[in-house]
Amino acid sequence: MYRYIVNRVLLVIPTLVGAAALVFVLMRLIPGDICEVRLSSGGGSVDPRAVALCHAELGLDRPLILQFLDFVWGFFRLDFGTSMWSGKPVAEEIAARLPISLEIAVMATVVAIAIAVPLGTISALKQNSWIDHVVRTTAIAGIATPSFWLGIVAILAVLDISHAVFGTPWMPPIDYVPFWQDPLRNLSMVILPAVTVGYRYAAVTMRMTRSAMLEVLREDYIRTARAKGLLERLIINRHALKNALLPVVTLIGIEFAFLIGGLVVTEQVFNLNGVGRLFVLAVQNQDYTLTQALVMLTVAVFVFANLVVDLLYAWLDPRIRYG
Amino acid sequence: MIRTLLAAAGLGAALCIAPLTNAAAPAAADTPKRGGILTFMIPADAPPSFDGHRETTYATVHAVAPFYSVLIRINPDNPSSTTDFVCDLCTEMPTPTDGGKTYTFKIREGVTFHDGSPLTAADVAASWQEIIHPREGMSSARESYFIMVDKVEASDATTVVFRLKFATNAFLPSLADPFAWIYKKEILDKDPRWFEKNIMGSGPFKFAGYEIGQSIKGVRNPDYYHKGRPYLDGFIGIFAAKQAVRVDAIRADRAAVEFRGLPPSARDELVRELGDQITVQTSDWNCGNLVTPNHKRKPFDDVRVRRALALAIDSWHGAPALAKIATVHTVAGIVFPGSPLAATKEELQTLAGFWPDIGKSREEAKRLLKEAGAEGLKFELMNRNVDQPYKYVATWLIDEWSKVGLQVTQRVLPTGPFFDALRHGTFDVTVDFNCQSVVNPLMDIGKFLPHSVYAENYGNYDDEKEIALYQALLHETDTVKQRSMIREFEKYVLDTQVHMLMTPWWNRIIPARSYVKGWKISPSHYLNQDLANVWLDK
Amino acid sequence: MVDLTPPCASAVDTAAESPRPSREGIIGFCRRQPLGTVGLVLVLVMAVAGLSAEWIAPYNPTSNDFAAMTEPPSWAHLMGTDQFGRDLFSRIVFGARTALIVGFSCAIIGGGAGLVLGVASAYFGGRLDLVLQRVMDVVMAFPLIIMALAVIAIFGSGVYNVIVAITIPLIPRCARVVRSSALAIREVPYIDAARACGFGHTRIILRHMVPNVLAPFLIMLTAFVGQAILAEASLSYLGLGVQEPTAAWGLMLQGGAEEYASTAPWIAIFPGLAIALTVFGFSLFGDALRDALDPKLRDR
């Protein structure tokens, strides 16, 4: 067990270094650089001297290998430097955007679990009944709809309905206020994107719950329980659901890590000043430091979520532990 | 280098431009009311910095201009004019002395910065020094505009003197640059980069907060030197890059206006939903999309092919239709439409791409293509990842070209890679653009000169004759002669050589909540944004 | 060792057949999987539209008509026209072709590469497996949309570059699933038997391992087609998907939703429906396929 844990933890390192190398190379393969973007964004004249000056300021004239080592060394010290675009510390840029993204991610997760687990369970219990079909259809529709479309339609619906009902069009606020400052304003802003994201998230989770449940229901111990004449409800609650939830929790964990990245499009649609929007901005501006930090943050969350899941599994499943 | 040419010619274009005629600005006859907060949308994610001397984007101007004063500016009550320059910090527009080489500005007394310290000529001179001749290790985005300036100095506490290397009327329009904010000398001396991350000016509004990437706030400066201004108690600028959000926000009155320009569909939606609660101002925009063939790539080195590209396009029928869906409107040549230097319709119709008979024009295009062995040519049109009007114009162009058998696909690049491809000439044909602030045709048409003269020309050609024509028209002082020389230059560029192709000029459409008063449209989204005259009729 | 004896080969090959699911007729499939049938029909409709777009579409999908801009649906234009006066129905039909190209190219290339890597990883194991798995980890952990944005920024937009951008993240996901299925089979006695018979690696992989991972692989392929179509739409929303004048659903949806969702909603509604229904179809079909191929999930 000890050996397994050590091995598994050590495996995190090559992944992180690999991701660092990948983002480093990928960003520098994009033609042009932040100095050109910045100096020509207004369509003005770009003086080669100004570009050279900008390169020197940002350290882009240094050898690539030094830039890379700097970045990796900075990552291990948790120091991401300053954003090349705004000149502000990367940590500050991210900290300014993190609360809203986290809030939406958490709310979406809550929405997803609240909808997905009961519906997924019912769907599995009543496999191939009309309930099952309705639930699955709704779930798949959630996965099949482009999320930005859903978002745009949602805002427009709110506008049109409020216009028709109250005579003046209304939409959620567009500037973020933290929950503890003005809960109502905060919620009215966050609820729509959270539901939009949550619907999709719920759809994925619901399907997972259903198939996990179906598998568990075929296990011998359920049959045994049934044979013993235990109450069906007890079987479901005590035995089946508990065991089926393991892969579901895994999925929720991993999807949560994905969610931050998945907010990219939704945050654009609702003009939320979150990490997803910052991500697109950083890539578009070719802001190396900021993009690198954001990628590493996402990768780290993903890698550690996986690590925790794997260790949990090892702890639960002796075959892995001793295998 | 173009600025050198211009300066050497000692000739300004500004003199011969009449006010625009199509700015449909409603006159604010009623008396301004004081008070209220203006919320407006800024169509960007975040400005790179607050330093106008360094930046070139409207994201910086729209967010930060209300905090600063400038030396001179376009008249805020008449911003569609291109000759009406007035003082902001100076007391009187100077008459140049010393044969047009010395400009002496008297600076207002009693002006204070927001920190309470007095603003003196030394601050003005120091700020201009940074713009014109930035110190070692600093960059100025507009250094090249002021190649004619020898030095700036404050001769006493209320006098700033600009000494030019040579006389030129191009100097004053350049001086009215909307980014040329006056900073405090003491701070500049201590840390010339301080203004990138901080704001401290003497303008109508005091800085009240910036939520990184989300909003910027200002409150009224009670000590503002233009008495009675500003009318507003304050403003909030909200950053939103996606258009749908901005339109929704105006519709739901979460914001009153967006000052860059929205497409016709947004205007139609707002007017349909809100009726007279929305007021629309429209103006020709001193920006346009051009099409630049890469002369280094075959077969675009062949003038017949380039000419065929132009002849295939039916601007006369295309423009009115495009005006319904894209931010373009007026068919014109290389000069801003409405300027007396611009070509008349009759003059235009002699040029390739502007023939009145499109059938004949396309026949000629097909003939030329056949002659050049480029029938059914396939090529790639490079474009920038901007919807309005770049991609709209491209969709139209590709269909027009298909009518003479050309098969064109589009390659869209984000801003950075787009400029990189332009500079390195890695494209067949590209959608190009020319966007200037103060209308100044002689400077603006520099875009058409070869790269050796004008750095932002990406056609990869050299043309001594063209440069000679340009120099001649720059040296000409007689406006009538100058106009006909511009026609000759235009004919040479667009018809004889077809170095580039014109598309309809941009159209600036600003739908605003009708309670927003006192703001008048100008031909550039960089101009007239200090909000001092804006008031709310609520 | 190269000398093979036929009895040995046939014995091993027959053994390989056994874990395959039993076949059922199309009618059986339809009866047992009503939702899957709906999915299959949707997929077929889309495929037929895409394959025979020239015959179905009443108008040229790329030619502008300024006399008929943003017209609502009518008999002349079943789904109305877009801002350039192009017939939306024709563009939807031709868009099906683009979707087919993007969806299937991504699925087949991504799935194919994943299959090869996954099987190789599982079969050879050892250092190759370790290295491959680390590489896959990195790509898996990397945010998808950001990788796609970077790839487009490097190569420029265009159907083929979009396919590359979407395909790369699909590879490791497929490789993962294939690897774990293949690992299970690797330990099965008949693989050892095949080795003992002295079969070459290629033969063992092709004849024994690949057929056995085919079921999860096919299910994944159907999912990939839908995901690729959705990914293209997301890229389009950020302006970097397939470009005008090509008829592509994501592109049409973006243009329509961003500017005309209120004034001319049909411009956004029909491409949105086309995307949703197609992805819906592939998902339903994939689910049904899984249920049909996996005996554990069948009815009690």
Residues facing residue B292 across a β-bridge: B430
Structure tokens at B415: 């801003």
- B338 to chain A, minimum CA–CA distance in Å? 23
% residues pLDDT > 70 (chain A): 89
Cis preceding linkage at B299, omega within 30: yes
- C247 to chain B, minimum CA–CA distance in Å? 12
Instruction: For residue B326, give Cα distances in angstroms to A9, A214, B505, C256.
Output: 56, 54, 11, 13
Confidence class of residue A6 from pLDDT cuts 50, 70 and 90?
Answer: confident
- Say how far apart CA C154 and CA A249 lie, in whole Å: 37
Closest in A30, A175, A281 to B215, CB measured: A175
Closest in B139, B213, B240 to A50, CB measured: B139
Does the beta-carbon distance from B211 to A32 stay under 8 Å?
no
Structure tokens at C16: 């390989």
Model confidence over B212-241: pLDDT tens digits? 888 999 999 999 999 898 999 999 999 998
Structure tokens at C280: 């819906």
Instruction: Give residue for tokens 């376009």.
Output: B74
C-beta separation of A264 from B242 below 8 A: no
User: Which residues in chain C are closer than 8 Å to B386, comparing Cβ atoms?
Assistant: 239
Q: Which residues 194-223 in chain A show a CB within 8 A of chain C?
A: 207, 211, 214-215, 218
- Say how far apart CA A294 and CA A273 lie, in whole Å: 15
Does the beta-carbon distance from C143 to A298 stay under 8 Å?
yes
Q: Is C73 on the interface with B (CB under 8 A)?
A: no
Model confidence over B255-282: pLDDT tens digits? 999 999 999 999 999 999 999 999 999 9
Confidence class of residue A316 from pLDDT cuts 50, 70 and 90?
Answer: low
Instruction: For residue C245, give Cα distances in angstroms to A105, B184, B323, B409, C60.
Output: 37, 52, 19, 7, 11
- B444 to chain C, minimum CA–CA distance in Å? 30
C-beta separation of B270 from B278 below 8 A: yes
- Say how far apart CA B128 and CA C91 lie, in whole Å: 56
What ranges in B239-349 are assigned the alpha helix state H?
A: 243-251, 264-274, 303-311, 315-322, 345-348
Q: Which amino acid, one-letter code, is at A70?
A: D
Residues facing residue C16 across a β-bridge: none
Write down the pLDDT at residue C102: 92
Chains with at least 3 CB pairs less than 8 angstroms from chain C: A, B
- Say how far apart CA A195 and CA A193 lie, in whole Å: 5
pLDDT at C56 over 70: yes
- B251 to chain A, minimum CA–CA distance in Å? 7
Does the beta-carbon distance from C257 to B269 stay under 8 Å?
no
Does the beta-carbon distance from A155 to B244 stay under 8 Å?
yes
Does the beta-carbon distance from C138 to A211 stay under 8 Å?
no
For chains A and B, count residue pairs whose Cβ atoms are closer than 8 Å: 151
Q: Is C145 on the interface with B (CB under 8 A)?
A: no
Confidence class of residue C20 from pLDDT cuts 50, 70 and 90?
Answer: very low
Does the beta-carbon distance from C230 to A19 stay under 8 Å?
no
User: Which residues in chain C are closer than 8 Å to A137, comparing Cβ atoms?
Assistant: 35, 284
Among B318, B330, B312, smallest CA distance to B396 is for: B318
Confidence class of residue B308 from pLDDT cuts 50, 70 and 90?
Answer: very high
Strands B278-293 and B37-42 come out as unpaired
Helix (H) or strand (E) holding B86: strand B85-87
Residue of C nearest to B244 (CA): C258
The pTM assigned to this predicted structure is: 0.87
Write down the pLDDT at residue A159: 87
Dihedral angle of Cα C63, C64, C70, C72, to the nearest 10 degrees: -40
Structure tokens at C143: 């945010």
Positive or negative, the CA dihedral B247, A177, A98, A34 is positive
Mean residue pLDDT across chain C: 81
- Say how far apart CA B389 and CA A146 lie, in whole Å: 25
Closest in C239, C263, C264 to B412, CB measured: C239
Structure tokens at C9: 């080969």
Model confidence over B175-202: pLDDT tens digits? 999 999 999 999 999 998 899 889 999 9
pLDDT at B22 over 70: no
- B209 φψ region: left (φ > 0), alpha (ψ -120 to 50), beta (else): left
> Mind giving me the DSSP string for C118-169?
HHHHHHH-HHHHHHHHHHHHHHHHS-HHHHHHHHHHHH-SSHHHHHHHHHHH
Residues facing residue B517 across a β-bridge: B535
- Say how far apart CA A292 and CA A20 lie, in whole Å: 7
- A292 φψ region: left (φ > 0), alpha (ψ -120 to 50), beta (else): alpha
Among C230, C206, C237, smallest CA distance to C279 is for: C230
User: Which residues in chain C are closer than 8 Å to A128, comparing Cβ atoms?
Assistant: 299
- A302 class by beta-carbon count within 10 Å (0-12 exposed, 13-18 middle, 19+ buried): buried
> Mind giving me the DSSP string for A113-137?
HHHHHHHHHHHHHTTTSHHHHHHHH
Q: Within its chain, how far is the Cα of B518 from the centroid?
A: 22
Confidence class of residue B381 from pLDDT cuts 50, 70 and 90?
Answer: very high
Residue of C nearest to B265 (CA): C259
- Say how far apart CA C193 and CA C215 lie, in whole Å: 23
Mean residue pLDDT across chain B: 88
Instruction: For residue C155, give Cα distances in angstroms to B40, B73, B420, B426.
Output: 37, 43, 12, 12
Does the beta-carbon distance from C141 to A291 stay under 8 Å?
no
Does the beta-carbon distance from A148 to C233 stay under 8 Å?
yes
Among A195, A194, A189, A206, smallest CA distance to A132 is for: A206
Does the beta-carbon distance from B420 to A156 stay under 8 Å?
no
User: Which residues in chain B are closer than 8 Å to C157, comparing Cβ atoms?
Assistant: 385, 410-413
Query: Could you count the other beta carbons within 10 Å of the beta carbon of residue B317?
Result: 12
Chains with at least 3 CB pairs less than 8 angstroms from chain B: A, C
Query: Could you count the other beta carbons within 10 Å of the beta carbon of residue A310?
Result: 17
Write down the pLDDT at residue C93: 93
Among B241, B333, B322, smallest CA distance to B288 is for: B333
What ranges in B27-170 are assigned the alpha helix state H?
A: 58-64, 121-132
* Three-state DSSP state, A222: helix
List, edge to edge, every strand of the sheet that includes B149-156. B102-106, B159-164, B149-156
**Which CATH superfamily hosts domain A93-322?**
MetI-like (1.10.3720.10)
- Per DSSP (E only), the strands in B375-473 are 378-384, 407-413, 429-435
Closest in C142, C147, C272 to A146, CB measured: C272
What is the arithmetic mean of pLDDT over A33-56?
Answer: 75
- B453 to chain A, minimum CA–CA distance in Å? 12
Of A155-159, A238-242, A276-280, C282-286, the range with the lowest mean pLDDT is: A238-242
Closest in B242, B399, B411 to C157, CB measured: B411
Among A206, A205, A193, A194, smallest CA distance to A107 is for: A194
- Say how far apart CA C283 and CA A204 lie, in whole Å: 12
Query: Could you count the other beta carbons within 10 Å of the beta carbon of residue A74?
Result: 17
User: Which residues in chain A are closer than 8 Å to B414, comparing Cβ atoms?
Assistant: 284
**What one-character DSSP code corresponds to residue A167?**
S
Residue of C nearest to B412 (CA): C157
Model confidence over A247-266: pLDDT tens digits? 777 667 666 666 766 688 88
Give residues with Cβ within 8 angstroms of B45, minimum separation 6.
A277, A281, B59, B213, B239, B241
Closest in C141, C234, C280 to A299, CB measured: C141
pLDDT at A116 over 60: yes
Does the beta-carbon distance from B242 to A86 stay under 8 Å?
no
Residues facing residue B234 across a β-bridge: B37, B219
Model confidence over A226-245: pLDDT tens digits? 777 767 777 777 667 767 67
- B198 class by beta-carbon count within 10 Å (0-12 exposed, 13-18 middle, 19+ buried): middle
Closest in B242, B251, B424 to A268, CB measured: B242
Domains of chain A, by residue range, sit at 93-322
- Say how far apart CA A117 and CA A96 lie, in whole Å: 33
Does the beta-carbon distance from B416 to C69 stay under 8 Å?
no
Strands B429-435 and B516-517 come out as unpaired
Among B160, B136, B137, smallest CA distance to B149 is for: B160
Model confidence over A209-231: pLDDT tens digits? 887 888 777 777 777 777 777 67
Confidence class of residue B46 from pLDDT cuts 50, 70 and 90?
Answer: confident
Does the beta-carbon distance from C287 to A302 stay under 8 Å?
no
- C218 class by beta-carbon count within 10 Å (0-12 exposed, 13-18 middle, 19+ buried): middle
- Say how far apart CA B71 and CA B427 lie, in whole Å: 42
User: Which residues in chain A are closer than 8 Å to B55, comparing Cβ atoms?
Assistant: 38, 42
Residue of B nearest to C85 (CA): B321
Chains with at least 3 CB pairs less than 8 angstroms from chain A: B, C
User: Which residues in chain B are closer than 8 Å to A168, comparing Cβ atoms?
Assistant: 253
